[in-house]
Amino acid sequence: MKQSITLGKVTKFMGLGFLSTLKDLFTGKLGKEDFKNFLRKAVVPLASILLFIGLWHAGAKALYNREANFKIEKALTDQGETAAEAMRACIASGDVSCKPNTLPSPGQVWDSYKSLLRDHNIISADKAAFIQKTAALNAKRIAAGKAAITYTGRPSFIDQIIMSLKTVFAGFLLALVIAIPLGIFIGLSPTLKSAFNWFIQIFKPVSPVVWYLLVFMIVKTILIDSNDDSSFIISFISVGLCSMWATLVNTAMGVSSVDKDYINVAKVLKLGPFQKVFKVILPSSLPLIFTGLKITLSVAWMVLIAIELLAQSPGLGLFVWEEFQNGANDSNSKIIVAMFVIGIIGFLLDRIMLTIQNAVSFDKNEGI
Amino acid sequence: MAYLELNNINKTYGESDSATQVLSNINLSIEEGEFVAIVGFTGSGKTTLVNLINGLLEPTSGEVLFKGEPVSGTSHERGVIFQNYSLLPWLTVGQNILMAVKEAFPKKSKVELNEIVADYVEMVSLTPAINKRPKELSGGMRQRVAVARALAMKPEMIIMDEPLGALDALTRGNLQDEILNIWGKDKRTALLITNDVDEGLYMADRIIPLKPGPKATLGPEFRIDIERPRDKTELNDNPSYKKTRNAIIEYLMDIGNARKSEAKAEIILPDLTPKDFVNQF
């Protein structure tokens, strides 16, 4: 019997069950029980989102007024009545020069989001034009054995998101390549376990900032001859080293705690050591390994921002830091946009990993 | 010389002080082609005995001889059907069996191996389920897969550790017949460990009770001289069956009672009262 794959199953599998409830609402397939369910799963979250935005709006307004009043008071005490009047008029007109700098309102954040997208379109167009303009020249340069001229304009917000994702995936792959084999060896051999245990216990709680500094010391010296920008290399290695611990520990635990029944099967069938690892031990510890990988990916995404900021790697972390340093009138709202983008991408990454994890998992007692 | 011989087997778990002797002075010999059942209470050390014979455990003292050679480690010559099926949940029925067959016949081609798998799946009538995973099967079907996996390796001896213990009575009866059928075809030597006297009586040539542990040891053997194939309904009227059954049950009850009276031995508690018991209130 072949199981059909429906939208409902897929969304449920990904932990996005509320989507299918929404679909049922629009196609009119809801019963009375379902309606209660719908209230709980779709209306309540929606209401809480609206409440959140409302509170945010009110809070932002209160902060704005406090900041504005402070500015007017200051003008009054420092420069007198006329300056205070001028300041009040200036603030009321919404002029950039005297705008109170505080928590932006939801509306401002939305505007900044749109302006960042516009900015991206402009930069993309500029980039395309540049590539077209230099195409002929670059062809000649390459033919002459010289390096092609590349676009060196500033990256757009979208470019920075892509850069961050690249860094995180490179770091994640590094963590995977180090942690899984090492975890398997540690899990298989009690000797290796005692050899590595202190190492894991000591380095696991080290902060991302310290990892960055350590990697920086080493990579800087190794790449001393190179003129290329090493910030990407440094940041992805730091991200990988920071986040690999969950996978390492989970893999070792999964491998060392394989059900005794499976080990007995392997013995009775007389599987060789290689076969035993690949056909019995690894498949049975896959669920735990994937739990580890899921934690690793979310940790990687979390530490990425701090590390990019330190490494000056052109991703979201650097974007946030530059906007903060920049202090333009829409900087604050751009930071909030970045915050939401970081949160949403983190959520999506987590869901992707959960989907893969569900696909490889099996109930521990299924074969027994 | 017997086909399988256990001489003065002792098995102790743990070290010196905390050691518990599970099996003590076990002697057993099984002839080629014989079907022997060992009946015992749960927790009497049956699984330990099985693991000593199939090579998963080593005896603390004494020796296990298989065809005159001492047993060291597991062997494809002795197929095992585990108590809890022990199928690998990430493999399908076919893959579970294929893994065993591949190990048993490393020189055969892929086509031949698949043929063997198909034959044995057919034998336990699971062909429609060959591509299913264990979780999609019922308990009886899972055990049939385990039977097929053990037999597909063409072992010279089948060791069954309470293979039907977790199944309901009807499935149990059917599987008993299936196992007997398969065993009857080429009369391999078989050792069945069970807690069900009737199961032993129906299937085996000889029944040996295992006195419960710690220090479990084998009791006197009971021969079952009933012609095969046996018919379950007719068995009840067979005088020899009744006699053997009563004898075995009586023997087991006696052991059980003896064990109870031993446990009744009075333990004198020391006369203690908490030091500051009164002051607390």
> What is the mean predicted confidence (pLDDT) over B16-30?
83
Among A176-180, B61-65, B87-91, B207-211, the range of highest mean pLDDT: A176-180
Arithmetic mean of pLDDT over chain B: 84
> What is the mean predicted confidence (pLDDT) over A308-336?
86
Considering CB atoms only, which of B103, B135, B153 is closest to A363?
B135
Inter-chain touch A270–B74, beta carbons under 8 Å: yes
Query: Can you tell me the ipTM of this complex?
Result: 0.80
Residue B58 contacts A, CB cutoff 8 Å: no
Token pair listed for A195: 């050899």
- Tell me the nearest-neighbour CA distance from A59 into chain B, angstroms: 53
Residue B84 contacts A, CB cutoff 8 Å: yes
Asked if pLDDT for residue B22 goes beyond 80, the answer is yes
Considering CB atoms only, which of B82, B99, B153 is closest to A264?
B82
Q: Give the pLDDT band of residue A12 (cuts 50, 70, 90).
A: low
Mind listing the pLDDT tens digit for each residue in B223-259? 888 877 788 788 778 888 888 888 888 888 888 787 7
Residue B253 contacts A, CB cutoff 8 Å: no
Specify the pLDDT at position A181.
93
Please list every residue in chain A whose beta carbon sits closer than 8 Å to the beta carbon of residue B74: 267-268, 270
Specify the pLDDT at position A63.
92
Inter-chain touch B82–A265, beta carbons under 8 Å: yes
Inter-chain touch A362–B89, beta carbons under 8 Å: yes
Specify the pLDDT at position B237.
81
> What is the mean predicted confidence (pLDDT) over B90-115?
91
Specify the pLDDT at position A2.
41
Specify the pLDDT at position A237.
92
Specify the pLDDT at position A31.
67
Among A75-89, A147-161, A203-217, B204-218, the range of highest mean pLDDT: A203-217
Inter-chain touch B142–A367, beta carbons under 8 Å: yes
What percent of chain A is modeled with pLDDT above 90? 31
Question: What structural domains and CATH numbers belong to chain A?
Answer: 31-98 (no CATH), 155-360 (1.10.3720.10)
Specify the pLDDT at position A41.
80
Inter-chain touch A362–B135, beta carbons under 8 Å: yes
Asked if pLDDT for residue B273 goes beyond 80, the answer is no
- Tell me the nearest-neighbour CA distance from B264 into chain A, angstroms: 36
CA dist B140 and B217 (Å) reads 31
Which is more confident, A269 or A360?
A269
Burial class (CB in 10 A: 0-12, 13-18, 19+), B166: middle
Inter-chain touch B89–A367, beta carbons under 8 Å: yes
Asked if pLDDT for residue A8 goes beyond 70, the answer is no
Specify the pLDDT at position B33.
86
Chain A residues whose C-beta is within 8 A of a chain B C-beta are: 261-262, 264-265, 267-271, 275, 279-280, 283-284, 286, 362-363, 366-368
- Tell me the nearest-neighbour CA distance from B232 into chain A, angstroms: 29
Specify the pLDDT at position A16.
62
Q: Give the pLDDT band of residue A51 (cuts 50, 70, 90).
A: very high
